[in-house]
């Protein structure tokens, strides 16, 4: 592919992302779950018919995939590369100021404290997790775990073999758009996030993408990592 063809491909991608409603739905899909068109329309503040048109564009672009279960149609980001693209582009714009309402301020605070970044933990909690794992030398300077880190994962019941077979790096550092520091991504970040949800250390919030550290999670993470002490 020559420079002109590359330029045309880039222009097509930019046109897909240039619409506010489509960009909003992509940000909602960053929570890693599958959403219905009706749910996405409600959160984007647009009509169901308008959302369907935008979702058709997103599916055609390859950024979003759809699955059907009975009468329901579910949409999700295509893969981690699509999630990385959306999250990276969000770094180029300053976060919107909180809405002048208690509800808006609470939603903004929840997202900053802990949220999902596609399939891993982001926000202040995600940044603190990575920093502590590095300080305790569970994660090395590159893209792998130390022997101590491997033992820690085994103790938590994380299936390292599955994470290591992934085409993604085991450990990847992802720049957090609210904290402006790295949080833990890669196949390990996904495995840790999923395990924390299963253990009940994290719980989904009512705000799209928001999660919260439960009382049990705070106690366990304090005991195992010294977090939240």
Q: What does the pLDDT look like over 217-228, one tens digit per residue?
A: 999 999 999 987
- Transcribe 47-60 into DSSP letters: -HHHHHHHHHHHHH
Q: What does the pLDDT look like over 157-186, one tens digit per residue?
A: 998 888 888 888 999 998 887 888 999 999
Strands 115-117 and 120-122: antiparallel
Q: Locate 157 and state its tokens.
A: 């019941």
**pLDDT beneath 70: ranges in the chain:** 1-3, 6, 91-105
Sorted by where each begins, the domain ranges of the chain are: 3-79, 102-225
pLDDT at 22: 94
Query: Which residue is associated with the tokens 């720049």?
Result: 175
CATH code given to domain 3-79: 1.10.10.10
Specify the pTM: 0.72
pLDDT at 183: 93
pLDDT at 153: 94
pLDDT at 26: 92
pLDDT at 15: 87
pLDDT at 128: 95
- Transcribe the chain into DSSP letters: --HHHHHHHHHHHHHHHTSHHHHHHHHHHTTSS-EEHHHHHHHHTS-HHHHHHHHHHHHHHTSEEEEEETTEEEEEESSHHHHHHHHHHHTTSPPPPPPSSHHHHHHHHHHHHSEEETTEEEHHHHHHHHHHHHHTTSB-SSSSB-HHHHHHHHHHT--HHHHHHSSS-SSEEEE-TTTSSEEEEHHHHHHHHHHHHHHTSEEE-SSTTBEEE-HHHHHHHHHHH-TT-
């Amino acid at each position: 592919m020559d420079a002109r063809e590359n330029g045309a491909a880039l222009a097509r991608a930019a046109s897909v992302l240039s619409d506010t409603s489509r960009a909003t739905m992509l940000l909602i899909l960053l929570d890693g779950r599958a959403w219905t068109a009706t749910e996405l329309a409600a959160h984007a503040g647009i009509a169901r018919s308008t959302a369907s048109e935008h979702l058709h564009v997103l599916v055609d672009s390859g950024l979003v995939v759809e699955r059907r279960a009975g009468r329901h149609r579910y949409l999700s980001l295509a893969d981690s590369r699509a999630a990385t693209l959306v999250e990276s582009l969000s770094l180029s714009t300053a976060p919107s100021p909180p809405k002048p309402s208690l509800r808006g301020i609470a939603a903004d605070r929840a997202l900053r404290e802990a949220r999902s970044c596609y399939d891993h933990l982001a926000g202040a909690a995600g940044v603190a997790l990575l920093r502590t794992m590095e300080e305790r030398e569970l994660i090395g300077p590159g893209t792998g775990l130390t022997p101590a880190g491997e033992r820690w994962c085994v103790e938590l019941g994380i299936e390292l073999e599955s994470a290591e077979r992934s085409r993604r790096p085991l450990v990847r550092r992802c720049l957090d758009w609210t904290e402006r520091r790295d949080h833990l991504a890669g196949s390990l970040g996904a495995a840790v996030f999923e395990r924390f949800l299963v253990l009940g250390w994290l719980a989904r919030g009512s705000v799209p993408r928001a999660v919260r550290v439960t009382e049990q999670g705070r106690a366990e993470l304090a005991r195992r990592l010294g977090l939240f002490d």
